[in-house]
């Protein structure tokens, strides 16, 4: 098979969460264990860092990977979903997985796949582990797909676990309360393995503390140990100071990920850097600061407050749940309060859309659209739901038609925001 044929095979022959939703989610890790056993347990052949959380885990994974990569460590990075290319999921030092490896691995695992019927995610997790093992990475950053406790990635034995935050997302699978969701995320905490929690709530902190104590794992809450100050915004950089309050040590940083929400992720990663230095992975200050101001260049990260063009300003962001949309809207208000705002939005159909729509401003101009997969909420349905929240606009079956129309409608001082789903951004030309 060619690479294109291989990817099409993976998409169509294996249950895929991004295509069919909950039906592809398997509430155990048996298939991943069996797949990796057949491959000689590649996940045990490299050191890893495991990252979970409702929001920010992708950005945090890329920040940490950029720092380790810049320091000279051969760094694997596994994240999901991808936006444009399957290879975005599996990288070494910012380079996407070799296409020939994808072809060969898929062919080699067809027999066991026919036997155990893994999901798309289960197979790609095994593919990533095998790729990192074969290429002898020094360390790999592994982002969970969904939850933590029962996530396919949760067969690794990391040297560090990170939980960025807890919010409402995938409640149909992870639980309807923050405590239930926190319990699932806490499932990545391992025996005598340090864990960092980026943000917590009064009702989630005890859950993390209890799990860490039961496993004799040292736990550090980043927001209790580090403060953020002197925030300065530029077009291409977000600057701030981070103070280690225990040592009264302050550093200044410049981030090329300019969404305000990245400051909380930065605080978490600075905490992680300190722990990593005790585990044999030192990162000097010069490489740390260069990496954090060049995350996009080093890792290829996309879709996080990406300012695509000016006059009008066009921003792409993968915000897709309440916390993510809240952060996005807050930054819009702070940065562009005097501009008319146009929203090009589309969502998947298994979100609590009503609670998300009620966050959007009623004085915005809306262009409702949908991606072209089975999970997409039809643009006409979205338009009808939005009208009940006094959000008015036209609907379009194609994101590119919607975006082109928004650009025609907007004045040069206006702002156009494209958000709501990874899959919407994936279809932007």
Predicted confidence (pLDDT) per residue in 322-346, tens digit:
988 999 999 999 999 899 999 999 9
Q: Where in the chain is the domain with CATH 3.40.1190.10?
A: 3-299
pLDDT at 193: 98
pLDDT at 350: 81
Do the Cβ atoms of 391 and 317 come closer than 8 Å? Answer: no
How far CA 32 is from CA of 130, 132, 191, 304, 354, in Å, comes to: 12, 16, 20, 30, 35
What's the sign of the alpha-carbon dihedral 52, 289, 133, 97? positive
Q: Is the pLDDT of residue 31 over 60?
A: yes
Copy the structure tokens of residue 298: 């080093």
User: H or E segment at 49?
Assistant: strand 47-52
| Mean pLDDT on 298-318 | 94
Collapsing DSSP states into helix, strand and coil, what is residue 349? coil
Do the Cβ atoms of 40 and 46 come closer than 8 Å? Answer: no
pLDDT at 323: 87
| Mean pLDDT on 217-231 | 97
Whole-angstrom Cα distance, residue 398 to residue 403? Answer: 9
Residue whose tokens read 């910012």 = 94
Q: Which of 28, 26, 25, 29 is nearest to 155 (CA)?
A: 29
Does the domain made of 306-426 have the CATH classification 3.90.190.20? yes
Do the Cβ atoms of 265 and 51 come closer than 8 Å? Answer: no
Confidence of residue 174 (pLDDT cuts 50, 70, 90): low
pLDDT at 352: 87
Q: Is the pLDDT of residue 26 over 60?
A: no
| pLDDT tens-digit series, residues 278-305 | 999 999 999 999 999 999 999 999 999 9
Classify residue 290 as exposed, middle or buried by CB count within 10 Å of its CB (0-12, 13-18, 19+): middle
pLDDT at 156: 98
Q: Which CATH entry fits the domain spanning 3-299: 3.40.1190.10, 3.90.1150.10, 3.40.50.920, 3.40.50.10440?
A: 3.40.1190.10
pLDDT at 19: 46
| pLDDT tens-digit series, residues 76-90 | 999 999 999 999 999
Q: Percentage of the chain with pLDDT > 70?
A: 95
Q: What is the mean pLDDT of the chain?
A: 93
Q: Is the pLDDT of residue 18 over 60?
A: no
Q: What is the per-residue burial (b if ≥16 Cβ within 10 Å, else e) of 200-211?
A: beeebbebbeeb
Copy the structure tokens of residue 105: 């691995």
Task: Classify 363 in phi/psi space as left (phi over 0), alpha (psi -120 to 50) or beta.
Answer: alpha
pLDDT at 16: 53
pLDDT at 297: 96
Q: Is the pLDDT of residue 353 over 90?
A: yes
Regarding pTM above 0.75, the answer is yes
Alpha helices in 72-135 (DSSP H): 99-108, 110-116, 120-134
Collapsing DSSP states into helix, strand and coil, what is residue 166? coil
Q: Percentage of the chain with pLDDT > 90?
A: 84
pLDDT at 15: 66
pLDDT at 236: 87
User: H or E segment at 164?
Assistant: none
Q: Where in the chain is the domain with CATH 3.90.190.20?
A: 306-426
Q: What are phi and psi of 68, to 5 degrees?
A: -65, -40
């Amino acid at each position: 098979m060619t690479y294109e044929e291989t990817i099409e095979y993976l998409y169509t022959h294996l249950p895929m969460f991004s295509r069919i939703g909950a039906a592809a989610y398997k509430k155990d890790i048996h298939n991943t264990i069996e797949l990796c056993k057949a491959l000689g347990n590649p996940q045990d052949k490299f050191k890893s860092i495991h990252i979970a959380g409702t929001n920010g885990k992708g950005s945090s994974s890329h920040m940490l990977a950029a720092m380790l990569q810049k320091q000279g460590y051969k760094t694997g990075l596994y994240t999901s979903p991808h936006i444009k290319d399957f290879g975005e999921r599996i990288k070494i030092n910012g380079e996407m997985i070799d296409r020939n490896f994808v072809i060969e691995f898929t062919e080699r695992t067809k027999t066991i796949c026919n036997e155990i019927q893994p999901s798309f995610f289960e197979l790609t997790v095994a593919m990533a582990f095998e790729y990192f093992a074969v290429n002898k990475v020094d360390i790999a950053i592994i982002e969970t797909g969904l939850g933590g406790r029962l996530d396919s990635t949760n067969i690794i034995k990391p040297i560090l676990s990170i939980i960025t935050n807890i919010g409402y997302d995938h409640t149909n699978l992870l639980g309807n309360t923050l405590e239930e969701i926190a319990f699932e995320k806490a499932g990545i905490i391992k025996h005598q393995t340090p864990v960092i929690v980026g943000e917590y709530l009064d009702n989630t902190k005890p859950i993390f503390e209890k799990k860490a104590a039961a496993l004799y794992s040292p736990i550090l809450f980043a927001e209790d140990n580090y403060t953020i100050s002197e925030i300065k915004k530029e077009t291409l950089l977000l600057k701030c100071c981070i103070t280690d309050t225990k040592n009264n040590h302050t550093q200044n940083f410049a981030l090329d990920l300019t969404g305000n929400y990245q400051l909380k992720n930065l605080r978490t990663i600075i905490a992680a850097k300190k722990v990593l230095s005790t585990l044999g992975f030192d990162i000097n200050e010069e490489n740390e600061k260069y990496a954090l101001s060049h995350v996009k260049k080093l890792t290829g990260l996309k879709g996080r407050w990406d300012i695509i063009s000016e006059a009008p300003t066009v921003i792409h962001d993968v915000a897709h749940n309440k916390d993510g949309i809240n952060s996005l809207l807050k930054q819009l208000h702070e940065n562009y309060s005097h501009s008319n705002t146009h929203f090009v939005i589309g969502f998947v159909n298994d979100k609590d859309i009503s609670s998300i729509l009620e966050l959007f401003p009623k004085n915005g101009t809306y262009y409702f659209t949908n991606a072209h997969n089975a999970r997409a909420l039809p643009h006409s349905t979205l338009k009808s739901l939005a009208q009940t929240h006094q959000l008015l606009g036209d609907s379009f079956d194609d994101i590119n038609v919607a975006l082109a129309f928004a650009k025609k409608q907007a004045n040069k001082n206006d702002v156009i925001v494209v958000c709501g789903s990874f899959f919407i951004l994936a279809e932007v030309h």
